[in-house]
Amino acid sequence: MHNTIKNMAIVAGLVSALLLVSLTATAAFDDQSGLLAVQPTPVEVILRECEDTYIEVYNANDNFCAEPLLLVRGEGVTSALLRFDVSSIPSNATIVEAYVETYADPSSNSEELEVSVFGMLKGWVACEATWNAASDTAVWQEAGASGSEDRAAIPADTAIAAGWDWYYHNVTKLVQNWVLDANSNKGLLLCSTDARYPLLYQFSSADSLAEDKRPRLRVKYVVTGEVPTPVPPLPTWATTVITLQQALDGYTGCSDTYIDSDAPNGTHGQRQVLLVKGRGNASSLIKFDVSSLPTDAVIFEAYLQLRASGDSAVQRLQVASHAVTRGWDADEATWLNATGAEAWEEAGCTGSTDRAEIPTDREMLHGPGWCQFNVTDIVQEWLDNGSSNKGLLLESYDERWAEQYMFHSCDHVSAIYYPRLMVTYARSPEAPTPTSTPTPTETPTPTSTLPAFMYQLYLPIIFRAG
């Protein structure tokens, strides 16, 4: 029962996990031919065919499909709807990465605002949708497309907006399902449940006069000949949010450092900052002990949050987070070595045995302030297999090599800015233990208990235990 339930959450990461293995190898054995078969190279496409609009409580019956901007405001009072045509991607493709990219207009607010992207469950018509209705013939279950039948309960991804320019949201799992089943493509809701409701962000729409600023969907995929498994929805269980941060509630499980090509033999484990430079010139390593989480936890969301200091660049820089696969020591790691006794396969922790090739997330950083990386699947893996927890690598191959970001480390003097791991999880429900109720009669009456198999009716058939 327990393993079956946990499969519901971790199966979503199985496709990605298998890809990390297959894509880092250059060849695989073909049982039928007896030869080495070269693995396919991922294909990258940028999809721009998008229909969109925004809906807001202040104009609950108005439609804005022809507007050049998509509005998003805090407290969920103004949200944007987008839908991309993915029919050009082969129906048996395995999605390696998929990001919806939206451009925040310079007229947007410059303060930080959490913006989430949700998979839509109800169909809608771009030039008919309003705050109250999905189309001229259908209303939302709850106004603002906020009902359980309107959108997914858990966002696919959440980013921190901090000024104008591009923002990325990881929608890999959603796109995988859209490709496998075109009818499941109900699009996306871009919204903010951030309590700072007056903050308004304006993103370029599909009707923007600046064509290069319109929403786009960037997808990497491979076709292996095998049809991938659909990604199931998360169960509707009560969730708990926990923050893992050095010194918070006695937590001491964070260690970090940075490695720098300009000082290939230098160690930085006691520094107050973590450093990331463009073109892979400097990267940061960070690890959180997650053993305090319940062993039966199903991870719904997990985000690594870092505070970029005021010494960071004000220019944008794309940074990716990768799962590290080789053990390292914060006080010994250098650009060349993982520990004092072991070198990286390739300098900078870039070898196929050093870190996963496919990142857990990519983000465009926008200057000093908080940023976050989606690490949901890898935290589930760490919890299920503690020995796999080798932490994360933050690196940038952005061509803007001169841009440098400095994050507060877990050794910084300001504890409130320590790196933190924000985890939302649910406990797997357990079947009750049958108990016998004695009776005063000589012939006991059997106690009626609910069969354990009834509890498995919550599970999608696809996740029957093998």
The encoded tokens of residue 234 equal: 């998360």
Mean pLDDT along residues 244-251: 96
Residue 138 belongs to a domain: yes
Q: Are residues 108 and 254 in the same domain?
A: no
Q: Could you read off the pLDDT of 106-165 as tens digits, one per residue?
A: 989 889 999 999 999 999 999 999 999 999 999 999 999 999 999 999 999 999 999 999
Q: Are residues 125 and 176 in the same domain?
A: yes
Contact 85, 217 (CB under 8 A): no
- 400 confidence band (pLDDT: 50, 70, 90): confident
Q: Are residues 86 and 177 in the same domain?
A: yes
Q: Are residues 177 and 315 in the same domain?
A: no
- 198 confidence band (pLDDT: 50, 70, 90): confident
Q: For the chain, what is the domain count?
A: 2
**End position of a domain, from candidates 173, 188, 222:** 222
**End position of a domain, from candidates 166, 189, 222:** 222
Q: Could you read off the pLDDT of 200-230 as tens digits, one per residue?
A: 999 999 999 999 999 999 999 999 989 999 9
CA torsion sign for 335, 341, 342, 343 is: positive
Residue that the structure tokens 């923002």 belong to: 167
Count of Cβ atoms closer than 10 Å to residue 262 Cβ: 10
DSSP 265-328: T---TT-SEEEEEGGGTEEEEEEE--TTS-TTEEEEEEEEEEEE-TTS-SS-EEEEEEEB-S--
Residue 6 belongs to a domain: no
Q: Are residues 81 and 133 in the same domain?
A: yes
Dihedral pair phi/psi, residue 204, rounded to 5°: -60, 135
Residue 69 belongs to a domain: yes
The encoded tokens of residue 300 equal: 């719904």
Q: Are residues 119 and 255 in the same domain?
A: no
Residue 443 belongs to a domain: no
Q: Are residues 56 and 124 in the same domain?
A: yes
Q: Are residues 122 and 247 in the same domain?
A: no
Burial class (CB in 10 A: 0-12, 13-18, 19+), 118: buried
Residue 190 belongs to a domain: yes
> SS3 for 53?
strand
Contact 77, 199 (CB under 8 A): no
Count of Cβ atoms closer than 10 Å to residue 207 Cβ: 17
Alpha helices for 161-296 (secondary structure H): 172-180
Q: Are residues 80 and 179 in the same domain?
A: yes
Average pLDDT of the chain is 88
CATH code of the domain covering residue 202: 2.60.120
**End position of a domain, from candidates 222, 250, 284:** 222
Looking at the DSSP assignment, which residues form a beta bridge with residue 159? 115
- 347 confidence band (pLDDT: 50, 70, 90): very high
Residue 113 belongs to a domain: yes
Total-model pTM: 0.85
- Looking at residue 363, its pLDDT comes to 97
Q: Are residues 343 and 253 in the same domain?
A: yes
Residue 61 belongs to a domain: yes
Residue 458 belongs to a domain: no
Q: Are residues 113 and 262 in the same domain?
A: no
- Looking at residue 181, its pLDDT comes to 97
193 backbone φψ class: left, alpha, beta (φ>0; ψ -120 to 50): alpha
Q: Could you read off the pLDDT of 408-424 as tens digits, one per residue?
A: 999 999 999 999 999 99
Residue that the structure tokens 């841009």 belong to: 403
- Looking at residue 337, its pLDDT comes to 98
CA torsion sign for 266, 404, 410, 241 is: negative
- Percentage of the chain beyond pLDDT 90 is 80
**Position 407 pLDDT exceeds 50:** yes
Looking at the DSSP assignment, which residues form a beta bridge with residue 324? 355
- Domain of 251 in residue numbering reads as 235-427
Q: Are residues 338 and 415 in the same domain?
A: yes
Q: Could you read off the pLDDT of 36-75 as tens digits, one per residue?
A: 456 789 999 999 999 999 999 999 999 999 999 999 999 9
List the one residue out of 221, 177, 256, 214 whose CA is nearest residue 67: 214
